[in-house]
Amino acid sequence: MDKMGNARREPPRVGTHERALSMTIEEFQRLIERTYFERDSRRGPGGTFMWFIEEVGELATALREGDKEAMRAEFADVLAWLTTLASLEGIEMSEAAQKYAGGCPRCRQMPCACSPKK
């Protein structure tokens, strides 16, 4: 339990060594680049975007079905494809994420105080 009385979440287990995997956005982007950049570069942003959209659809299915294990896998796939698209376009994901560093980009509040979209 943490100080607030909430159950602590165990870090994810990875591989046969069962070590916790924690990395920065930059580390993740470099990992994805080392793994896929050459192949994704040949495919180009357009073809890679199509694969990204397919993964978003698979995530939608997992969310609709409420399958937590499938959700976890599809969130990872969506993040990986989004990251490779950013790399193909020369965008650092950590820099892109700075848009939200000060809270809501519109009202600058945490939590957001903007009127909900309809």
User: Looking at residue 117, what is its pLDDT?
Assistant: 78
User: Looking at residue 20, what is its pLDDT?
Assistant: 54
**CA dihedral (34, 43, 91, 109) positive or negative:** negative
User: Looking at residue 21, what is its pLDDT?
Assistant: 75
Q: Which CATH superfamily is domain 23-100 in?
A: MazG-like (1.10.287.1080)
**pTM beyond 0.95, yes or no:** no
3-class secondary-structure state, position 100? helix
**What residues in the chain have per-residue pLDDT under 50?**
1-6, 8-18
User: Looking at residue 36, what is its pLDDT?
Assistant: 96
CA distance 66 to 60: 10
